[in-house]
A and B are shown apart, each in its own frame.
Chain A
Amino acid sequence: QKEVEQDPGPLSVPEGAIVSLNCTYSNSAFQYFMWYRQYSRKGPELLMYTYSSGNKEDGRFTAQVDKSSKYISLFIRDSQPSDSATYLCAMSLNRDDKIIFGKGTRLHILP
């Protein structure tokens, strides 16, 4: 079982829809969770991070962590064509531990 699992997609949704992106993980000791956005032929950029369980909201983006289910989610409200990108989840055990990345989910927002 891989440490971090993420459906590669592609996921196509109409503009304005709510998007749900997810990752599951096997190591219950992970504490730090991140979401990165990567546009085509660009490097990843940090969208959001959360520590331990709970929700975090930033504009149209909400990150959720469910440690009991070992499941994290990123929701995008009022999706825009500019949200079309690959979204990578990432996590680590402790502050100084290496970061484990998911494979990424390709998202297409259809105008």
Chain B
Amino acid sequence: NAGVTQTPKFRVLKTGQSMTLLCAQDMNHEYMYWYRQDPGMGLRLIHYSVGEGTTAKGEVPDGYNVSRLKKQNFLLGLESAAPSQTSVYFCASSQGDSLFSWRDTEAFFGQGTRLTVV
């Protein structure tokens, strides 16, 4: 099925470990996003990309890095995980004439990655 696929779905890390979350979309979308969702906080934008080879910071970028070497993939890296990064991470992609034109052409979300840092 077409859509946004995130791997892994679950992960437990120890403080200080590193990991990479992978997001893959097969809809040829230009725009991709990484969000985190925490209880009582809503969805917050970590980083986003407006096309292959580009990345930009969102609201809460500290402690994360991203790369978009291929149009279909958007990677989120945690270099040294901290308990504050325990969260559910969502990747999304969209295609429109502008970055957040989700009103006209829907943004599609992946199923999320549940990350626990102990």
Specify which chain B residues have a CB less than 8 angstroms from the CB of A49 in the assembled complex.
102-103
Q: Judging by beta carbons under 8 Å apart, are B40 and A99 in contact? A: no
**Within 8 Å of chain B (Cβ to Cβ): is A32?**
yes
* Chain B residue at minimal CB-CB distance from A42: B111
Contact pattern, A 33-77, Cβ under 8 Å of B = 1, otherwise 0: 010000001111110010100000000000000000000000000
The prevalent SS among residues of B at the interface is loop
Instruction: Take A4-B42, A88-B43 as given contacts and tell me if A43 and B109 are in contact as well, using a CB distance cutoff of 8 Å.
Output: yes
Q: Judging by beta carbons under 8 Å apart, are B43 and A98 in contact? A: no
Q: Judging by beta carbons under 8 Å apart, are B42 and A98 in contact? A: no
The prevalent SS among residues of A at the interface is loop
B49 to chain A, nearest CB (A): 14
Contact pattern, B 86-118, Cβ under 8 Å of A = 1, otherwise 0: 000010100000111111001111111000000
Q: Report the separation of the CA atoms of residues A43 and B33 in the bound assembly, to the nearest whole angstrom.
A: 13
Known: A43-B108, A43-B110, A88-B43. 20 other contacts (CB 8 A): A4-B42, A32-B103, A41-B111, A42-B112, A43-B4, A43-B92, A46-B102, A46-B106, A49-B103, A51-B103, A88-B42, A92-B100, A95-B101, A95-B103, A96-B101, A97-B100, A99-B100, A101-B42, A101-B43, A103-B41
Chain B positions within 8 Å of A, measured between CB atoms, are 4, 40-45, 58-59, 90, 92, 98-103, 106-112
Can you list 12 A-B pairs with a CB-CB distance of less than 8 A?
A8-B40, A34-B102, A34-B103, A42-B111, A43-B110, A44-B109, A45-B106, A88-B42, A95-B101, A96-B101, A98-B45, A101-B44
